[in-house]
Structure 1
Amino acid sequence: MVDRRERSRERLQEAALELFTLDGYTETTAVAIAERAGVTERTFYRHFRDKREVLFGDGDRLVRLLVDALPLRPKPLDRALRNALSALAADLTPRRERLARRAALVRAHRELAERELLKLQCWAEALAHVLIDRGIDDLTAVAEVEVALALFRTAFTLWVTSEDDAADLEKMIDRAYAATGRRTMRSQVLGSRS
């Protein structure tokens, strides 16, 4: 069950997307977002540092999701990372419509696009750090994480811009892997964290 704090956060995120789309990102203020969400400005700032963070506020949770999806023995590494991407896809899929609106805003504003790249860098650093701690050499860990996230980013972009309502993020990730000749082997992936 979603608690009151989480509902406020979600209302703020939805209100921000609506206002950014209607009035423009630059013109929208934190006060306007709070009013639209039916909360106080103080509540807005309890959840987010600024209006930009409304679009990136799930970052820590998504990093934890990715890291938690890695098995304790991450070999073969390509399957371990693909498992993490599957967990991410499962989490994002129910919010496709909202993520598509968010992605359009990010593409339209340079400062948001830069922040998006920073978010992906944080994901890469967190994943590589965990893999190194679990015995993968530095170069291999960093290279494999960067490749996996590039394939994810490609699939995600196609997914949120697709006009096909039945587009499937998981299948698009598979297609991105296949396009580079990389194995996906998702069906055999490391369901256990042993």
Structure 2
Amino acid sequence: MARWAPDSRGRLESAAFELFEAKGFAETTVPEIAERAGLTTRTFFRHFSDKREVLFVDGAMSTYAQQAIEEAPSGLPPIEVVRHLLRRSAEEQFTGRADRIRRVRAIVVTDPMLRERELAKRDELSAAVDAGLTERGVDELSARLLADLAVTVMYLAVDRWLASPDPGADLSAHVDEVLDAHSALHGDRRES
């Protein structure tokens, strides 16, 4: 094996996805992933703490969410801070990643431990949004409700985006659609 190879992380991810899809997540070992990528197991562990981390990046979205909330324009009502967060995330974190997200979701649904990890990641993201909103002065109850709403809206918007027949569809439009549907439930529609 090469001592140094370009794009080792990308090669490891590609090899892991191929093996997860062919053999299943539980049946795939880290040494198999490293071997398929033409790298060492040690190199794998330089990039990932375990094979689940190929699918889930620890803390990245939570840190991103708190920063985006902090950087939202001052004076926005809390629901519009959530909209700002979700639209920014749609543009910066999801653009060009639809195929990868589809693949991750297809792998996650096949394994109970991965589904549990997905739920834990949702909880972490909700807690980060809650903390970010609280830091902006949103009361505790509203921050908690909006945090859970933000995560639910994003997951529903991503579902709709991935199901869209238009491969170039804009995730931000789906975010707005889902948030507006929520607002319509209690007669509070955003003016376009």
Tell me which interval the TM-score lies in, with the shorter structure as reference length: 0.7 to 0.9
* Code of the aligned partner of 1:63: S
RMSD: 2.4
Distance 1:74 1:105, change over 3 A: farther
**1:13 counterpart residue number:** 13
| 1:164-189 deviations in Å (ceiling 9; x for gaps) | 4233322221221222226567x8xx
Q: Which moved more, 1:69-78 or 1:124-133?
A: 69-78
Post-superposition Cα deviations, 1:75-108, rounded to whole Å, max 9, x if no partner, equal 3111111111112212212111111111111122
Question: Is 1:157–2:156 an aligned residue pair?
Answer: no
What residue identity is the alignment partner of 1:154? L
Q: TM-score under structure 2 normalisation?
A: 0.84
Would the aligned equivalents of 2:12 and 2:34 in 1 still touch at CA under 8 Å? yes
2:82 match: 81
Higher relative contact order (CA 8 A, sep 6+): 1
- Counterpart of 2:44 in structure 1 is 44
What runs of 5+ residues in structure 2 fail to find an aligned partner? Answer: none
Q: How much has 1:39 moved relative to structure 2?
A: 1.9
Instruction: Please say which of residues 6-15 and 39-48 is displaced more in the overlay.
Output: 6-15
Which of 142, 160, 174 aligns to 2:176? It is 174
The structural deviation recorded for 1:9 is 2.2
One-letter code aligned to 1:157: D
Asked which structure has the greater CA Rg, the reply is 2
- Which runs of 5 or more structure 1 residues have no equivalent in the other structure? 188-194
Q: Deviations 1:129-175 (Å, cap 9, x if unpaired)?
A: 12212211111101011112111111112323445423332222122
Counterpart for residue 35 of structure 1:
35
Identity %: 38
**Number of residue pairs aligned between Structure 1 and Structure 2:** 182
In structure 2, the residue corresponding to 1:111 is in which secondary structure? helix
